[in-house]
Structure 1
């Protein structure tokens, strides 16, 4: 009579040992694989950045007439990227593989660069408006962060207006707006009485209200086109407004008591 052999399954102890070995291997291999992926993403982004600058320079050489700023009249990176797509230099927008990184155009060097996205600050004490004021952030900032990174949204609503006095007298030492922000107006005294030394006004902003950045030791301002001003927006006078209206968008330095465009 033929003997029938039955294969034994794993015992509970053997299963525990196998699981333990797999866990140890995972702790070794996962960080290694993750590191390889991060390096690959970085290498891809660097290569894409080179290609982006190459096609942009080709676009410059084939433009007629050749402009001092390749993307004259375009104020956002998405608009600049779309211009390259429209003129068949790109098939689609180039997006970095790395997290918290974006491609941005530097008008001073006429090159695309990689920049790190910043972590938005918690807007303690600040509320989102409702009804006709949906998109307006209101209240009085009570957070401890003095290097403020303005978030794109509050309560899942896009921030479109910074209302009166929200950050007035809070001791802020720096202010950063994400390039993707959609803020259109900064209201009266919104950032009055702080310690800001420079500010980049988002390109989406079309109006700066009374004393919006007054009483700050600001010596550098970067600003886009078509912004209207109320009075005393900077340094308790209208000197910057008058210079801007005469010379337009760009970066300005406060030198020897006057605003000088770079």
Structure 2
């Protein structure tokens, strides 16, 4: 009954043009000891859940406002869960505490696991069938979670975000991961960039990582020892490379699209098809 009321409430909010992202059947966020998160529920049966990490300066509620990928995921039966990052100073929105060499203000892997478990208990879905995704710095947080706790989520789907420098030297185990990135992304370029400091030789520089290095890490972690991709698929705007001859139970794909720093149209359909096909 609670789920039905939540779905009816969310449907009404969507019709009225409001952002239907609260705690299921209420407008307030869901609260746990380590923070808060927001939820949208599908109208029909629940097939699974996507925990989505917002980008720099964003919020969980903002991440779940109606848009192409949100509507697609809901239509396909997925609960959408969006936690709130830690507030930045001076009203600059929220972010995530994981960057190498910087003070950790919260145990983010523990927080994301707690959000997963709390949402599963509240809304009645299987916690083992939650996919972790995120955009920009949320994609980076997704990548670090996949590296540190590969078994915490059923699969990982970062968009426009990977590791930061210094890159990790090792990850804990094989993962099921689809990385999506824009060919002309200038905010998180494929090669990375210097955000603070003179240049890449500055020992104190704050630098995004190299997505190609990130993919090399995943190939090593997944024991894709042939190195080259096994499948190449171009469908719609996505050019995809997939590695199949790897560790049992793992999965690795890389999807490029001819755009910049965005979640591209069609991403959710592609990503959910990939996930359901694993």
Asked if TM exceeds 0.5, the reply is no
Shorter chain as denominator, the TM-score bin is: 0.3 to 0.5
Greater Rg over alpha carbons, structure:
1
Q: Normalising by structure 2, report the TM-score.
A: 0.32
* Bigger RCO of structures 1 and 2 (CA < 8 A, at least 6 apart): 2
TM-score normalised by structure 1 residue count: 0.34
